[in-house]
């Protein structure tokens, strides 16, 4: 039995959820083969990393044609990989790109799709998946009726495998599998996000602010705490809608779904739509002036106080203990 | 130019926690339903495209009669007309079945230069119907779209929101465009428009009208079967309220818990 895993990389930088997905594939495949599919330009080092994280082999589609993520070219490479490997399962990390590509690929190949899985099993050759639906208010068990099945795995649901640089495996070099002149979609520009920010979906720790931070400058003490903890910055919709912070920080129903080890909610009341995006966090800390705020009902630790007093005190204490800058 | 907005009617997000697995499986959630919140951005963008470039904006949904309410909301916002696709045979369709019905609906309506969708439905959470429709129609697919920069006779230029930044992409028309919340601020319908929309007669197209045979759609054609639905096991959370004389003391206690008890920092 073989399992194919698509590795999500952007300009050589791999989304860590890819390695978690590879780790899950390793457990599912048992004695079978785990084959990573790496698509990009100048990404041989990614292929080597895939082996170090548990792949038995890598199909490497390395060509200028794949510099940019485009459905036409990436689907063609995946189709080529699937045809040659005949896997039971094609797994994707459920990152933004992973969800997009898995959906487009599955439909192109007329295969069943189970997006955003939080558990995957193979029972007598059939793939069974548990996935959150109704915005996390229910868990559906679904059976994928096609072989292969196409599944994307929610980030931070499977453990991060150990990287072992001494592992060996075969890297099969594949070039462009379609004629580039037929590809009509063109990426004509790219503007990078502020460097150094920790991405919300991969973050182990998130410091999040709501209407209680009172303005754009109210996020500054949160950012300082985040720097000391190595955390990402989240926000409620109220803070985003007020224009205090950009939308890509929004957590919740109409923002991102996160599941860090610690979620520190500062000045967030904990509306049901906010909870939909963060309820799965391992530990939830609420800092809020109002002891009646619903956030305390789902929190593990609460401080009923002014966030402008508590957050700087936390930063100072954490800096002392962690010795960070 | 012609624009078709695909929209779904979904439970009001505030009522999602009240729905039981039994209700959901029976397809009768017993709660207030509204236009899927993500689709408001698609409707707004469809209207703005018409305002920018002229043409017609059509709202389309696959669903039973109650879906007319969501379509009327789209009319009230400013869509020119609405079309509903429904047949008992459609019941139990998975994302690809839904995408096939919608693609046929679009073709039956004479096609579109740009098809707009929301990012995801708040009940199914697949985020895959746009991908399916583009695939079935064999046209360009643009996802995570935060801005439509320009539309010409042959092409569309958009900005896509990536985790790493913003990307500008040009693709040939026709195209399916799925939008994110950042793209616009949906308008509130005027009273007059609401009144007018409430009287609208919305045509319905059946499987036969769309040239679909029952085995191509619905539960029997589904490539993914839902075998169980349950409430997530409630996490046992008993909040520990941290007391202390000063902020410093509270901060220190909290860090003790996080570092020494939970070992998460
Ligand atoms: C369709 C739909 C989708 C939605 N999607 C989302 C979503 O994705 N994400 C999301 O977050 N929301 C979403 N919402 C909005 C949601 O319902 C709430 O309105 C929003 O989460 C409230 O944000 P808040 O908690 O920051 O603000 P508020 O509810 O106003 O809470 C502010 C809190 O800050 C506290 N506070 C004030 N000052 C201080 C201080 N100095 N120190 C400590 N505490 C203080 C107050 O006690 C209060 O509890 C959605 C709503 C709808 C209808
Ligand atoms: N039954 C439907 N009728 C019309 N559009 C739909 C339907 N279901 C989904 N869509 C569109 O597809 C998007 C993604 O939905 P989903 O793939 O179900 O998460 C939604 O935001 C809608 O724009």
- The CATH T-level fold of domain B2-221 is Rossmann fold (3.40.50)
User: What are the residue ranges spanned by the domains of chain A?
Assistant: 2-182, 205-322
CA distance A267 to A219: 11
Residue B235 clears pLDDT 80, i.e. is over it: no
Q: Quickly state the pLDDT bin for B173 (edges 50, 70, 90).
A: very high
CA distance B49 to B47: 5
What is the pLDDT averaged over residues A65-69?
Answer: 96
Rounded to the nearest 5 degrees, what angle is found at the Cα of A129, between the Cα atoms of A127 and A132? 165
The tens digit of pLDDT for each residue in B69-106 reads 999 999 999 999 999 999 999 999 999 999 999 999 99
Beta carbons of B125 and A11 less than 8 Å apart: no
The tens digit of pLDDT for each residue in A88-121 reads 999 999 999 999 999 999 999 999 999 999 999 9
Cα(A247) to ligand 1 centroid in Å equals: 14
Other residues' Cβ atoms within 10 Å of the Cβ of residue B149:
14
CATH top-level class of A205-322: alpha beta
Q: Which residue has the tokens 């592992």?
A: A167
Cα(A208) to ligand 1 centroid in Å equals: 11
Residue B234 clears pLDDT 90, i.e. is over it: no
| A236 and B CB contact within 8 Å | no
Asked whether B180 lines ligand 2 (CB < 6 A), one says no
Q: What is the pLDDT of residue A28?
A: 96
In whole angstroms, what separates CA A109 from the centre of its chain? 24
Q: Which residue has the tokens 């919709």?
A: A237
Atom of ligand 2 nearest to the CA of B38: 21
The structure tokens listed for A172 are: 């099969």
Q: What is the pLDDT of residue A160?
A: 96
B141 chain-A contacts, CB cut-off 8 A: 71, 104
Contact at 8 Å (CB) between A133 and A139? yes
Residue A84 clears pLDDT 60, i.e. is over it: yes
Contact at 8 Å (CB) between B167 and A187? yes
B11 chain-A contacts, CB cut-off 8 A: 134
A–B: how many Cβ contacts below 8 A?
246
Residue A135 clears pLDDT 70, i.e. is over it: yes
Residue B31 clears pLDDT 80, i.e. is over it: yes
pTM of the model: 0.92
What is the pLDDT averaged over residues B48-68?
Answer: 98
Q: Quickly state the pLDDT bin for B26 (edges 50, 70, 90).
A: confident
* Maximum Cα–Cα distance across chain B: 73
Q: How high is the mean pLDDT of chain A? A: 95
Pocket, ligand 1, Cβ cutoff 6 A: A 210-212, 236-239, 250-255, 267-269, 271, 273-274, 277, 287-290, 293, 306-308; B 13, 37
Q: What is the pLDDT of residue A202?
A: 86
DSSP A174-221: E---S-GGG---EEEEEEE--TTPPPTTT-SEEEEE-GGG-SGGGGHH
Residue A194 clears pLDDT 90, i.e. is over it: no
Residue A325 clears pLDDT 60, i.e. is over it: no
User: What are the residue ranges spanned by the domains of chain B?
Assistant: 2-221, 235-265
Axis crossing angle, helix B191-198 with helix B68-77, rounded to the nearest 10: 140
Q: What is the pLDDT of residue B243?
A: 96
Give the DSSP letter of residue B97: H
**Is the confidence metric ipTM above 0.95 for this complex?**
no
Beta carbons of B254 and A201 less than 8 Å apart: no
Residue A17 clears pLDDT 60, i.e. is over it: yes
| CATH of span A2-182 | 3.40.50.620
The tens digit of pLDDT for each residue in A256-294 reads 999 999 999 999 999 999 999 999 999 999 999 999 999
Q: Quickly state the pLDDT bin for A195 (edges 50, 70, 90).
A: low
Decide the pairing of beta strands B114-117 and B175-179. parallel
Q: What is the pLDDT of residue A196?
A: 66
Beta carbons of A143 and B224 less than 8 Å apart: yes
């Amino acid at each position: 039995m073989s399992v194919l895993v698509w590795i999500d990389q952007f300009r050589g930088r791999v989304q860590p959820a890819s390695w978690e997905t590879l780790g899950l594939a390793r457990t599912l495949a048992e004695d079978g083969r785990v084959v990573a599919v790496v698509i990009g330009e100048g990404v041989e080092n990614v292929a080597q990393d895939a082996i170090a994280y548990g792949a038995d082999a890598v199909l490497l589609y390395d060509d200028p044609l794949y510099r940019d993520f485009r459905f036409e070219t990436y689907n063609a490479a995946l189709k080529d990989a699937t045809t040659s490997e005949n896997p039971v399962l094609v797994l994707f990390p459920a990152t933004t790109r992973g969800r997009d590509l898995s959906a487009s690929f599955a439909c192109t190949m007329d295969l069943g799709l189970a997006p955003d899985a939080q558990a995957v099993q193979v029972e007598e050759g059939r793939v069974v998946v548990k996935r959150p639906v109704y915005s996390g208010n229910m868990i559906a068990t679904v059976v994928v009726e096609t072989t292969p099945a196409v599944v994307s795995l929610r980030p931070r649901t499977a453990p991060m495998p150990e990287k072992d640089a001494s592992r060996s495996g075969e890297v099969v070099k594949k070039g462009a599998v379609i004629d580039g002149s037929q590809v009509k979609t063109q990426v004509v520009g790219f503007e990078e996000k502020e460097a150094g920010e920790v991405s919300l979906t991969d973050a182990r720790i998130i410091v999040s602010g709501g209407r209680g931070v009172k303005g754009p400058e109210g996020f500054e003490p949160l950012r300082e705490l985040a720097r000391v903890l190595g955390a990402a910055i989240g926000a409620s919709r109220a803070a985003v809608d007020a224009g205090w912070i950009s939308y890509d920080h929004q957590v919740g129903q109409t923002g991102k779904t996160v599941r860090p080890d610690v979620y520190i909610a500062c000045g967030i009341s904990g509306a049901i739509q906010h909870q939909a995006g963060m309820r799965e966090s391992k530990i939830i800390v609420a800092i809020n002036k109002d002891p009646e705020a619903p956030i305390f009902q789902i929190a593990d630790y609460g401080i009923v106080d002014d966030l402008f007093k508590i957050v700087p005190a936390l930063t100072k204490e954490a800096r002392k203990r962690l010795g960070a800058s | 130019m012609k624009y078709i907005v695909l929209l779904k009617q979904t439970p009001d997000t505030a009522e999602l926690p009240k729905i039981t697995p039994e209700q959901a499986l029976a397809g009768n959630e017993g709660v207030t339903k509204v236009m899927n919140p993500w689709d408001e951005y698609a409707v707004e963008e469809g209207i703005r495209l018409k305002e920018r470039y002229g043409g017609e904006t059509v709202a389309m949904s696959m669903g039973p009669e109650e879906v007319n309410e969501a379509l009327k909301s789209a009319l009230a916002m400013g869509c020119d007309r609405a079309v509903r696709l429904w047949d008992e045979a459609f019941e139990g369709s998975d994302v690809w079945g839904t995408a096939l019905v919608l693609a046929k609906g679009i073709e039956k309506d004479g096609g579109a230069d740009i098809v707009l969708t929301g990012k995801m439905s708040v009940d199914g959470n697949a985020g895959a119907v746009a991908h399916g429709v583009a695939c079935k129609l064999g046209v360009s697919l643009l996802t995570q779209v935060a801005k439509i920069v320009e539309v010409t006779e042959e092409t569309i230029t958009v900005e896509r929101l990536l985790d790493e930044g913003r990307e500008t992409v040009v693709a040939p028309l026709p195209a399916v465009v799925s939008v994110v919340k950042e793209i616009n601020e949906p308008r509130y319908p005027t009273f007059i428009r609401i009144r007018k929309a409430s009287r609208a007669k919305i045509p319905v197209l059946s499987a036969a009208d769309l040239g679909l045979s029952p085995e191509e759609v619905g539960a029997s054609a589904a490539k993914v079967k839902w075998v169980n639905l349950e409430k997530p096991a409630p996490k046992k959370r008993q909040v520990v309220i941290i007391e202390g004389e000063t902020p410093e003391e509270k901060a220190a206690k909290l860090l003790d818990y996080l570092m020494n008890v939970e070992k998460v920092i």
